[in-house]
Amino acid sequence: MKKAKYSLITCTLMVLMATACSKDTVETSSSPSNSIQPNTTASSAPTLPEEATIKIYTENNTGWPAKKDWDVWKWVKEETNITVEQVLATGPESLALAVSSGSMPDILSVFPEEVQKFGPQGAFLDLSKHMDKIPNVKAYLDSKPDVKARVTTPTGEILSIINDGAGEGNQAVWFYREDIFKKNNLAEPKTWDELYTTAKKLKQLYPDSYPFVVRHGLATLNYIGPSFGLYPELHRDPKDPTQMKFGLQDPAAKTMVEMLNKFVKEGLMPPDWLTMDYKAWTQFISTNKSFITIQFIGQIEIMNNQLTEGNLKFMAPPVGAGTQPYLPKGGAEIYGLAVASTTKNLDASLRYLDYIFSKEGRDIQSWGKEGETYTVEGGKRKFNANYKEASDLRVISGIQTAGTYGWFDFDAWMALVKEKEQLAYLQAPKYRLPVSSDLPMLTTEEGAAIGPANDQIWKYWTTETTKFIFGDKPMSEWDAFVKGLDKYEVEKIKTTYQKALDRQIANMK
């Protein structure tokens, strides 16, 4: 599960990187003499705070290898007089090693699981005690109560701040082959029943095909679940976000599993979708074997670039239960920044945090500086020609890479995304389920108390649900399966998280 989360994050980043494409509006930036001056003089004129050097620990992504001379670090130096040394993770255990060695870098980019693991051990600084020194961070948190709730520990500490603004690629969406649909006079399915009939028709037209294909195995339930108003496991109830709910106990879950079973039985989905990897998924999409899918948003463009004919287009999620079409609540980032409790550069570290959350800092770390990275034309910012696609922001300047920003301005990224591909990004937010599948934070004791039960119930529901979907068990036994959840202490787990949720809600007030 941990790995799944990591890969999801990386996946998101990759997707974001890959969503980029060359923007055709290329203009020459060889005569910027008049635009450079105002900005540089303005920023160097005020008295800078005292000089400092801090170390920031981040991932090392081979897609955008970290460089010492990235512009983002130069801007930090210009604005705050802080020299940043980037310390790169070398493996999955790097953070654990850093914590155990007693010499942590000053600032660390961390996943919530890591905060939950090492936070209670005392590795990270409680930022809530230093809010007076980081007014911009405080203002940011006050403006985003849900983020504040996510980062506040059960004991009221704030041990990390989750990054914000660049999570748009972290959104699973439905898309389909527009050309095939048009050719055969098929309409976008609005409901799961329509999805089924449409897939049937496609199967008749193309007997060799598997019209609907997915790539994430059983985890796909997390992405199609929302169209039935649920996530498969424990989550907040979308109808009443103050209550916890175990998705599979919802009657709509039965409908969902029944549907999938029908799709498998009638060959509308590949028989091996449970074990299909990205390679197999790519093959199905690029060889016209599948026409409807649910995947991360950036894949639309990646696959469009591979199709020799035809094109893929965003589709509203089909309604499975209720009246509203829903996608999972994506768009959030899943990792953030923490300050080491052992730091010897406390002031500088806090100053850095405050800078990246300040209005100017946010703007500079997202867009760069006028004349250096972009020009303003007709009131609109335009990146220089050397940034051909959005991922160039990362490769060339380090913009939107781990540790270099706190609150990203996603418009900067979108400025380099092809207009045709912007549709999905504009549409997707309209369909998000009101709640995400994130769980409220538990105390270490609570976590330990339900740990084994959590694993057992996971094993139970995944094994059984797979049997129902693939027809190894008749749907008539579904109710018995749902009852069986009780044997695995589903109530105990639910109550534990309910308590955590109540606490979180109380903390927010």
Partner 1 sequence: MVKRGQIRFFDIVNFLLLGFVAFASLFPFIHMASVVLSSPEHVIRNEVGLWPRGLQWDAIGAAIGDERLWIGYRNTLLYLVLGCCISMILTILGAYALSRKSLIFGKPVMLIIVFTIMFNGGMIPFYLVMKSYGLMDTIWAMVLPSAINTYNLIVMRTFFQGIPVEIEESGRIDGLSDFGLLPYIIIPLSKPVLMTVGLFYAVEIWNSFSAALLLLRDSNLFPLQLMIRNLVVVGQSGDVLETSVASGRTVVLESLKYALILLGSLPIIMVYPFIQKHFEQGALLGSVKG
Partner 2 sequence: MKPTVFKRLKRDRIYLLLLAPVLLYYILFKYVPMFGIVISFKDYNLFKGVWASEWVGLKYYRWFLQNPDAWNIIRNTLLLGMYRFLFLYPTPIMLAVLFYLMRWKRYRRFVQTVSYMPFFMSQVVISSILIMLLSPSTGWINQMIKWLGVEPIYFLQKAEWFRTIYIASDIWQQVGFSTIIYLAALASIDPQLYEAARMDGAGRWKQTIHVTLPGIVPAMVIVFILQLGGILELSFDKAFLLGNVATLETSDIISTYVYRTGIIGGSYSYASAIDLSMAVISLILIYTANKVSRKVGETSLW
Q: Are 106 and 343 in contact (CB under 8 A)?
A: yes
Please write down the HEC assignment for all residues of 340-392: ECCCCCHHHHHHHHHHHHCHHHHHHHHHCCECCCEEEECCEEEECCCCCCHHH
Query: Residue 451 interacts with partner 2 (CB under 8 A)?
Result: yes
205 binds, among partner 1, partner 2, none (CB under 5 to 8 A by kind): none
61 binds, among partner 1, partner 2, none (CB under 5 to 8 A by kind): partner 1
User: Of the two residues 242 and 444, which places its CB atom closer to partner 2 in the complex?
Assistant: 444
Instruction: Tell me if residue 202 falls in helix, strand or coil.
Output: helix
Torsional sign, CA 414, 415, 421, 426: positive
When computed from its CA atoms, the radius of gyration of the chain, rounded to whole angstroms, is 24
Q: Are 374 and 367 in contact (CB under 8 A)?
A: yes
Concatenate the DSSP letters of all residues of 162-187 into one string.
E-BS-BTTS-EEEEEEHHHHHHTTPP
Q: Which residues contact 280 (CB under 8 A, 6 or more apart)?
A: 215, 270, 272
User: Of the two residues 123 and 402, which places its CB atom closer to partner 2 in the complex?
Assistant: 123
User: Of the two residues 252 and 280, which places its CB atom closer to partner 2 in the complex?
Assistant: 280
| Span of 153-161, 242-250, 357-365, 453-461 interacting with partner 2 by CB under 8 A | 453-461
User: Of the two residues 97 and 376, which places its CB atom closer to partner 1 in the complex?
Assistant: 97
Q: Are 118 and 99 in contact (CB under 8 A)?
A: yes
User: Of the two residues 14 and 442, which places its CB atom closer to partner 1 in the complex?
Assistant: 14
Q: Are 397 and 204 in contact (CB under 8 A)?
A: no
Identify which of 325, 283, 64 has the alpha carbon closest to the alpha carbon of residue 173: 325
User: Of the two residues 7 and 275, which places its CB atom closer to partner 1 in the complex?
Assistant: 7
Task: State the chain's maximal CA–CA distance in angstroms.
Answer: 75
| Span of 72-80, 133-141, 269-277, 499-507 interacting with partner 2 by CB under 8 A | 269-277
Query: Residue 456 interacts with partner 2 (CB under 8 A)?
Result: yes
Q: Are 84 and 73 in contact (CB under 8 A)?
A: yes
Identify which of 97, 93, 114 has the alpha carbon closest to the alpha carbon of residue 334: 114
Q: Are 165 and 408 in contact (CB under 8 A)?
A: yes
User: Of the two residues 93 and 142, which places its CB atom closer to partner 1 in the complex?
Assistant: 93
User: Of the two residues 22 and 275, which places its CB atom closer to partner 2 in the complex?
Assistant: 275
Q: What are the structure tokens assigned to 28, written together?
A: 């020459």
286 binds, among partner 1, partner 2, none (CB under 5 to 8 A by kind): partner 1
Q: Which chain residues interact with partner 1 by CB under 8 A?
A: 6-7, 10-15, 17-18, 60-63, 90-91, 93, 96-97, 100-101, 215, 278-280, 282-283, 286-287, 295-296, 299, 302, 306, 308, 395
For residues 315 to 344, the per-residue mask of contacts with partner 2, x marking binding by CB under 8 A and - elsewhere, is --------------------------x---
Q: How far apart are CA 227 and CA 234, in angstroms?
A: 16
Query: How many alpha carbons lie under 13 Å from residue 146 in its C-beta half-sphere?
Result: 10
Query: Residue 477 interacts with partner 2 (CB under 8 A)?
Result: no
451 binds, among partner 2, partner 1, none (CB under 5 to 8 A by kind): partner 2
Query: Residue 8 interacts with partner 2 (CB under 8 A)?
Result: no
206 binds, among partner 1, partner 2, none (CB under 5 to 8 A by kind): none
Q: How far is the CB of 5 from partner 1 (least distance, A)?
A: 11
Q: Which residues contact 34 (CB under 8 A, 6 or more apart)?
A: none
Query: Residue 113 interacts with partner 2 (CB under 8 A)?
Result: yes
Query: Residue 452 interacts with partner 2 (CB under 8 A)?
Result: yes
User: Of the two residues 116 and 436, which places its CB atom closer to partner 2 in the complex?
Assistant: 116
Which spans of this chain sit near partner 2 (rule: CB under 8 A)? 1-3, 96, 99-100, 102, 113, 116-118, 120-123, 210, 217-218, 270-272, 274-277, 279-280, 283, 341, 444, 447-448, 451-452, 455-456, 459, 462-463, 466-467, 470
